[in-house]
Chain A
Amino acid sequence: MAKALSRPRRTQVVGDTPMELSVNGRPYKLYLDARVTLLDALRDHMGLTGTKKGCDQGACGACTVHVNGRRVLSCLTLAAQCDDQEVTTIEGLAGAEGPHPLQESFVRHDGFQCGFCTPGQIMSAVALIQEGRAGSDDDVREYMSGNLCRCGAYANIVAAIREVASADGASAGRTSADGASAGSASAARAPRGGTDASL
């Protein structure tokens, strides 16, 4: 224990799998059991309880966070897999100027009842707008379908997201619903993926 105490402040030793994560810009050095998911690491070992555990099985979206800027499910991600990666949680959204526009918009539109799904909804919505998929109500419904709300606040959630997306002009303009309506072969040109293939 004496050794552990002499480590830097945000170090936790409860297992033997080492990992260094950057969460909301702060570095964490952890030694955890290999089984610990990113969700449990955030909640139980970093004190970041904003991210919620709904199903713990990849079905509800309550645990949505960003890893390297992409929205993912922290309940099906091992913390160890995030070694050296950048994680953003709901606690990391607000800036010096105050809450994130989506946080304000959810409040203004009553985008929740119990609020349990809300951190996941907002993290998903931030990514949705960055992906350019908030151009219509239908697109928002389709590309937010991985975030369930047991209270059924969907109509207000869509309104909250659309308001911010419209104010955000450029990224809201593109529509990408083609994949959601099978049979349509046309699509907006999307950026090509990486080219460092090795087969």
Chain B
Amino acid sequence: MLPFDYARATDVDEAVNLLAADTNASYLAGGTTQLDLMKDGVLAPERLVDITRLPMRGITRDDDGLHVAALTTMEELAADSTVVEDFPLVRQALLLGASTQLRNMATIGGNLLQRARCRYFRDPGVAECNKREPGSGCAAVADSARMHAILGVSERCVALHASDLAVALVALDAVVHLQGMSGRRSVPLTQFYREARTSPDVENVLVHGELITGVTIPFLPATATSGYLKVRDRASYEFALASAAVALVTQDGTIGQARVALGGVGSKPWRSLEAEQVLTDAPANEETFREAAAAAVQGAWTLPGTAFKVELAQRTLVRALRNISGVAQ
């Protein structure tokens, strides 16, 4: 780690001003991404602004949904009674991620901004990485890596967005609240991320110094069933090879509304309106689910190492839909 100054912000304005004044400064929340990448030498800010003492913690609910302040930890959100009752897919996405120790540290704001696990990105010894060094190339493509994305990618970058939570939240139409030098704004999470295909080095719409203050998660209709399914190389403590966040409102065997998002396959948390369109007004059966899954992976861009994910993602989605609809195989 290169030397840096440590500053602890006590209110939101102070934090934003500290960053605005210094283009080489970064926020520090739980540190599980930020310090990890600084140890690897991928990030080298001259100043870290510790935001963990800001009054941005806790969860409230009203008619608009659940309001989660950005410093709420993954464990805290998973234990919230509204999440337990009304957002099983959020709880599952949280508890199926990382370990309890990491979830006690990791904040919701930080989770949405976690960086790619791509080992070429994380190794400054690798020269070709368009995410680290725009225009330098992509070593992962040449090496045909396996734990990479197949949607929203190209030969310029195949890095995966590895958050489980963000997949559940894009399915739920969550909204992120931001505060920066030019004031506050709110952005739907589906419009927050950018694809690696277009801009490997710019992952989202945040401008320097903008702070995530919280997230609002709207409720699903009371009759909806929902769930998060994660498929991985080992049973616990591993990132997804493929995952699916799904919600359905079904009446008399016909799907009235559907939400579908995929993880483990996209350069951003991958909402699939294509799959939702196939599902809506269709009978809730295996055939429909398979058709929706085929629609979800259309346009996949694969390498020999990632080709298996086209089939795996479809099976994951079909199984997730089966699980929440009670449709037998």
Counting CB contacts under 8 A, is B226 at the interface? yes
Contact A71 B227 (CB under 8 A): no
Q: Which of B50, B72, B99, B105 contacts A80 (CB 8 A)?
A: B50
A71 interface neighbour in B1, B32, B52, B100, Cβ under 8 Å: B100
Q: Give A70 to B104 CA distance when docked, in angstroms.
A: 7
Interface status of B228 (Cβ within 8 A of chain A): yes
Do B6 and A17 touch (CB < 8 A)?
Answer: yes
Distance A147 CA – B98 CA, assembled complex (angstroms): 11
Within 8 A of A (CB), among B61-77: 67-69, 72, 75-77
In the bound complex, do residue B237 and residue A180 qualify as a contact, i.e. CB atoms below 8 Å apart? no
Cα-based distance from A192 to B76 in the complex (angstroms) = 8
Chain B residues with CB under 8 Å of A127's CB are 100
The answer to whether residues A72 and B76 also contact, given A194-B58, A195-B60 and a CB cut-off of 8 A, is: no
Judge whether B67 and A194 touch: CB under 8 Å: no
Q: Which residue of B lies closest to A179 (CB)?
A: B95
Interface size in chain B (residues, C-beta < 8 A): 66
User: With A77-B31, A78-B35 given, is the CB distance from A146 to B100 under 8 Å?
Assistant: yes
Q: Which of A53-61, A89-97, A98-106, A159-167 contacts B (4 or more CB under 8 A)?
A: A53-61
Given contacts A145-B237, A182-B228, A183-B229, contact A81 B52 (CB under 8 A): yes
Chain B at the A interface: SS class: mixed
Residues of A within 8 A of B52 (CB): 81
Query: Which chain B positions have C-beta within 8 A of A128?
Result: 100
Chain A, Cβ-Cβ closest to B88: A185
- B214 proximal to A (CB < 8 A): yes
Interface residue? B287 (CB, 8 A): no
* A20 part of interface (Cβ distance < 8 Å): no
Q: Does A143 contact B (CB under 8 A)?
A: yes
B interface residues with partner A (beta carbon < 8 Å): 1, 3-6, 8, 28, 30-32, 35-36, 39-40, 48, 50, 52, 55-60, 67-69, 72, 75-82, 84-85, 88, 91-92, 94-96, 98-102, 104-105, 177, 213-214, 216, 225-230, 235-237, 320, 323-324
* Given A81-B31, A183-B324, A198-B55: A35 touches B91 (CB 8 Å cut-off): no
User: Bound state CA distance, A190 and B320, in angstroms?
Assistant: 25
B95-A180 in contact (CB<8A): yes
| Contact A72 B101, CB 8 Å, known A35-B1, A197-B68, A199-B177 | yes
Q: A34's closest neighbor in chain B, by CB? A: B6
Q: Is the CB of A34 within 8 A of B237?
A: no
